[in-house]
Amino acid sequence: MTEHAQANVTQGLPSGDLGRRLAARRVRLGLTAEEIAARAGVAPSYVRHLEQHPGAAPGRGTLLSLAAALRTTVSALTGGDADVPPGREQAARSPELTELSVAECAKLLSTHGVGRLAVPTELGPVIVPVNYSVVDDAIVFRTARGATPSLASGCVVAFEVDRVDDTFSQGWSVVTRGFARTVTDPDEEHRLAKRAYSAPWSGGRRDMWVRIEPYAVTGRRIVT
């Protein structure tokens, strides 16, 4: 198939930034554009074209080949599952649930990104997503004063991160319990601002730093 034919618009596919998703998945797997191209049977220049041009729309056959090369689904590559919770696929025939060591949990936590914070409220526990980082073995995030995540300050909380791979029906989860406090020292705030990886996606003024000092970390992984 020529590159011209591969670039034909595919009808019926959900819209989405294919290039960004393709590049993110490739980097997550630690693969080069050349390696993905070889697996998918396309030219490396075409893979780079897809990554650099969000509006590119390859044919269905090429999408299937790229998804297979990236060990994912066409729906995931094209953004069709953006509003669908993970884990809808069937369980594998022989899944194995294993406990993660403390070192493995720490490594997974340190990848940073989005985690789920469970905080106590007057009406009961509430779970909210927050963009977090790990600095000096502590979980840190920025929020707005009065926002739900800010209620964690002064409380024992739970914090969870996970990854789910629907294609292979496998994934992992790490749960941390710890004491949360508001960072009030200006020097510490400045240090966290310099070392933190993740900024709040929600935007707006988020100048309250919260730090969670873990006292228990557990994790599990499902493999097939």
Residue 69: inside a domain, yes or no?
A: yes
Same domain, 66 and 25: yes
Domains held by the chain: number: 2
Residue 122: inside a domain, yes or no?
A: yes
Same domain, 169 and 206: yes
Domain limits at 178?
A: 96-223
Same domain, 105 and 61: no
Same domain, 215 and 143: yes
What is the pLDDT confidence band of residue 118, given thresholds at 50, 70 and 90? very high
Same domain, 63 and 121: no
CATH number of the structural domain spanning residue 49: 1.10.260.40
Same domain, 158 and 58: no
Residue 84: inside a domain, yes or no?
A: no
Same domain, 51 and 110: no
Q: What is the pLDDT of residues 142-169, one digit of tens each?
A: 999 999 999 999 999 999 999 887 666 7
Cα(46)–Cα(55) distance, rounded to whole angstroms?
A: 13
Same domain, 40 and 121: no
Residue 119: inside a domain, yes or no?
A: yes
Q: Which of 12, 45, 78 is at the close of a domain?
A: 78
Cα(94)–Cα(61) distance, rounded to whole angstroms?
A: 30
Please, which residues bridge with residue 99 across strands? Answer: 220
CATH number of the structural domain spanning residue 114: 2.30.110.10
CA nearest 174: which of 224, 120, 87, 101? Answer: 101
Least confident span in 8-17, 24-33, 152-161:
8-17
- pTM above the 0.75 mark? no
Cα(26)–Cα(159) distance, rounded to whole angstroms?
A: 28
